[in-house]
């Protein structure tokens, strides 16, 4: 069992990782996921919506476009600033607030809908984060999640990173949030119904080298991994990621289209 001290230390490390680079460069390419999740949750105009670990606000904007009264949260303030810029550009009214997904500063049953796209899955204490999502969602409300699966492309990226920079022992991998049985363990006590649909998101880049350049520069976990490795270790990681990209590429040698599996989850609160 991982101690609370270990989890707190890991969280601090994660915050530094996500604050490095500029996730918004990657995040804006995932906007479709937020739109699809908002539809899956069947949002009503005027409903109160909380976006947890919102990043640069994909689900936030999708909910606001549908008339939701949205509060967008993340523990990295710089990411919320990107979301604010986007909301202002579309003249959408959104409340942005720094918050930890494992300790949400809201009363019980405060929201009709609680969302997270590729965000809450990275919390160190998965059971605590799931409990918080359920706590702030009203009975009969919906919790909507988009989570990468272990066997999908991004799941394999994190598995590759873990081979080169092993995580602390006992820490659950984020990709468990992409496993239906694990989701049922996390939410069984609070859910009236859990719906899980498998989807693919296509990453579209000029080439494998282009993808790696973008992620190495802007995507915090990859950026930090390369920075932490010695020169020969970084070269080995680059080789492994390039091989992974070429294996998943369905566009042929002239371009790069890499489908990455994720689960679209809608939980109806008991």
Q: How far apart are CA 64 and CA 84, in angstroms?
A: 12
Contact call for residues 194 and 145 (beta carbons, < 8 A): no
Q: What is the pLDDT of residue 10?
A: 86
Contact call for residues 70 and 60 (beta carbons, < 8 A): yes
| Cβ-Cβ contacts under 8 Å for 56 (sequence gap 6 or more) | 23, 24, 27, 28, 79, 82, 83, 86
Q: What is the pLDDT of residue 42?
A: 98
Query: To the nearest 5 percent, what fractions of the chain are helix, strand and coil?
Result: 50, 25, 25
Helix axes 180-187, 126-136, angle to 10 degrees: 60
Instruction: Look up residue 71 and give its two tokens.
Output: 């509060």
Q: What is the pTM of this model?
A: 0.96
Q: What is the pLDDT of residue 45?
A: 98
Nearest in space to 52 (alpha carbons), one of 149, 148, 4, 123: 123
128: exposed, middle or buried (C-beta count within 10 Å: 0-12, 13-18, 19+)? middle
Positions of E strands within the chain: 48-51, 69-74, 94-98, 111-117, 137-148, 191-205, 256-269
Q: What is the pLDDT of residue 168?
A: 85
Q: What is the pLDDT of residue 128?
A: 97
pLDDT tens, N- to C-terminus, the chain (270 residues): 444 557 888 888 889 999 999 999 999 999 999 999 999 999 999 999 999 999 999 999 999 999 999 999 999 999 999 999 999 999 999 999 999 999 999 999 999 999 999 999 999 999 999 999 999 999 999 999 999 999 999 999 999 999 999 998 888 999 999 999 999 999 999 999 999 999 999 999 999 999 999 999 999 999 999 999 999 999 999 999 999 999 999 999 999 999 999 999 999 999
Q: What is the pLDDT of residue 1?
A: 40
Q: What is the pLDDT of residue 2?
A: 44
Within 13 Å, how many C-alpha atoms sit on residue 61's CB side?
Answer: 23
SS3 115: strand
């Amino acid at each position: 069992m991982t101690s609370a001290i270990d989890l707190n230390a890991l969280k601090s490390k994660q915050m530094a990782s996500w604050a490095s680079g500029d996730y918004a460069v990657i995040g804006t390419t995932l906007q479709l996921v937020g739109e699809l999740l908002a539809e899956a949750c069947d949002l009503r105009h005027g409903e109160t919506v909380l976006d947890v670990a919102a990043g640069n606000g994909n689900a936030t904007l999708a909910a606001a476009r549908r008339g939701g009264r949205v509060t967008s949260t993340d523990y990295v303030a710089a990411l919320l600033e990107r979301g604010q810029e986007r909301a202002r550009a579309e003249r959408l009214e959104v409340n942005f607030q720094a918050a930890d997904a494992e300790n949400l500063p809201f009363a019980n049953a405060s929201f009709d809908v609680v969302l997270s796209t590729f965000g809450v899955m990275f919390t160190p204490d998965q059971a605590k984060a799931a409990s918080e999502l359920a706590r702030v969602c009203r009975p009969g409300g919906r919790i909507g999640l988009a989570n990468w699966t272990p066997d999908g492309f991004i799941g394999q990226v994190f598995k590759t990173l873990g081979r080169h920079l092993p995580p602390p022992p006992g820490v659950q991998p984020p990709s468990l949030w992409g496993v239906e049985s694990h989701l049922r363990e996390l939410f069984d006590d609070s859910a009236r119904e859990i719906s899980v649909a498998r989807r693919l998101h296509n990453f579209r880049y000029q080439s494998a080298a282009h993808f790696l350049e973008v992620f190495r520069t802007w995507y915090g976990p990859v950026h930090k991994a390369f920075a932490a490795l010695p020169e020969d270790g970084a070269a080995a990681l680059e080789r492994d990621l390039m091989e992974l990209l070429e294996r998943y590429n369905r566009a042929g040698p002239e371009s790069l289209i890499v489908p990455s599996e994720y689960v679209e989850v809608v939980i109806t609160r008991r």
